[in-house]
Amino acid sequence: MTRTVLITGGTYGIGRAIAEKFAADHNVLRSYQKTKPSDDLEAQSNVVSYSCDLLQDGSAENLVTRAMDHFGRIDVIVNNAGLVRSTPIESFDAEAHRQVFELNAIAPQALLTAALPHLSAGAAIVNISSMNADLPPRGAATYGASKAALNLWTKAMAKELGPQGIRVNAVAPGAINVPEAPRSDDLTQLFVKDTALGRPGTPEDIAKAVRFLASDEASFITGEILTVAGGYRL
């Protein structure tokens, strides 16, 4: 039976690389909000893209319903959709803080709750966190805090769902060069001097880690935060 992977934010950057990695031999339903799908995956019958604002009430339930209607099962959830905003303390914006936390930390919980009745032993959840959960950059404390909350939730859900045979892990990317992102190369190069491997990561580096954690090869791994950062600040 072909397994089904549900990926949020699956049409851009890291999310698109994850979708490509799974689409070779899995069914894939990927959500998007701003970046409409324009890649070769759209021509594949085993890939479905669905426009969805995860900050809206009912979006998680709609996404799960769409996956079940198309493929009849959900085996892997990749919570990739995220929001990065500069939130300097000198100009506190409660709404901006709320949106960062809602998308980065609360939306994954809502999606898991909606999907849980359809998950069985062997299912895997992979959350996309960030090294900024431990090393928050100046002016982005809210982003770092939201990813720290996601890490704690990852561990808590691993403990709660372990008896059901459902694994929950996270991947924490370091400096990743996303070619489509504005100034991505300039920004990632700032981190290279502190990276042991001397280069920024690629979306494919993260996709490989996600694919591993979702696979049976990682069947005894749960509650872990796998940092994929090229040895940043060793």
Per residue in 155-175, pLDDT (tens digit) is 999 999 999 999 999 999 998
Mean pLDDT of the chain: 93
Contact of 77 with 112, CB cutoff 8 Å: yes
Identity (one letter) of the amino acid at 183?
A: R
Task: Write out pLDDT tens, residues 196-230.
Answer: 999 999 999 999 999 999 999 999 999 999 999 99
Say what the pLDDT of residue 183 is: 56
* Per-residue model confidence as pLDDT tens digits over 110-156: 999 999 999 999 999 999 999 999 988 788 889 999 999 999 999 99
Token pair of 132, please? 């900024």
Amino acid at position 122, single letter: G
pLDDT, residue 89, reads 74
Does residue 74 have a pLDDT over 70? yes
Distance between CA 114 and CA 112 in Å, rounded? 5
Residues 84, 167: Cα–Cα separation, whole Å:
27
Which positions are catalytic? 143
* Residues 34, 73: Cα–Cα separation, whole Å: 26
Cross-sheet strand order for the sheet of 4-7: 47-51, 27-32, 4-7, 76-79, 124-128, 167-173, 225-228
Percent of the chain with pLDDT over 90: 76
Domain spans in the chain, listed from the N-terminal domain onward: 4-228
- The third-level CATH classification (topology) of the domain covering 4-228 is Rossmann fold (3.40.50)
* Mean pLDDT, residues 59-88: 94
